[in-house]
Structure 1
Amino acid sequence: MNARGALGRYGEGLAARRLTESGLRIVERNWRCRHGEIDILAAEGDALVVCEVKTRRAGAYEHPMEAVGPRKAQRLRSLAEHWLAGHGGPPPGGVRIDLVGVLLPRRGAPVVQHVRGVA
């Protein structure tokens, strides 16, 4: 695994921990199909939560919370539809797309932000 992949996996681990601490249950991580990948699928009550995780080092690129624009949001919706097609359709509580941003400062603890319903 390269450094970028290791950074992403580290951020996804922090994100999964934040989500479970917030009461969500992790259903699947790194689900892939020929159309792309969903970082984390979780359940909150009877809703399915599709989580995009963005990890950045402080000062390197845009802030992780700015990383999901309209094009990425549409792709996540499409990937969610593909996942649902293979897993029995939408749950009673519907589907929500969340973003978890992980910012790694030069010093100190990582900053993890969870924003619900970004798309």
Structure 2
Amino acid sequence: MTITTEVDTRGADTLSTKKLGNLGEDIAADILTRAGYEILERNFSTRHGEIDIVALDGDTLVFIEVKTRRSLVMGSAVEAVDSRKVRKLRTMIGAYFLERSPQHSGVRLDAFGVFVMPGGHVDVTHLKAVGS
């Protein structure tokens, strides 16, 4: 779905890959917050990698992998969250539990794809419970 976001997307076509990824995470956090999620952490680092967003959806602890694209040449953003990536994310989630010891009734892994189109328009895909 194409959405409106409070995040400034002007000039996204000239951003470095890292800055484009940061922009995508900002967009995802903005949309999730407006949808009622409570963002607990961003860019939680483990020795295995980084969890982009940790949030609460009600009493469910949600780990969100954000992928951002400005071209579909490499496929859609959420296609990048394949079974190998899901396994790696589960390892990082385990590290999060060891460090933070959260107490929540449910846990979920989501993928959030952000496609930044020319002119700054944004198309997003939010897949809940990937790899389940």
Normalised to the residue count of structure 1, the TM-score between the two structures is 0.91
What's the Cα RMSD here? 1.4
Q: Matched residues in 1 for 2:128 and 2:93: separation? A: 16
Residue 117 of structure 1, aligned match among 102, 105, 129: 129
Runs of 4+ in 1 over 6 A off after TM superposition: none
Residue 81 of structure 2, aligned match among 52, 65, 68: 68
Residue 3 of structure 2 aligns with which residue?
Answer: none
Normalised to the residue count of structure 2, the TM-score between the two structures is 0.82
Aligned length: 117
Counterpart mapping for 1:1-119 below 5 A:
3-89=16-102, 91-119=103-131
Letter in 2 for 1:110: V
Counterpart contact for 2:61–2:104, Cα < 8 Å: no
Which structure's relative contact order is higher, taking Cα pairs within 8 Å and 6+ residues apart? 2
Which deviations, in whole Å up to 9, do the C-alpha atoms of 1:13-68 show, x marking residues without a partner? 00001111111100000010211100000011211100000000133421102111
Which blocks of at least 5 consecutive residues in structure 2 are unaligned?
A: 1-14
Equivalent pairs: percent with the same residue?
A: 41
Displacement of 1:108 after TM fit? 5.0
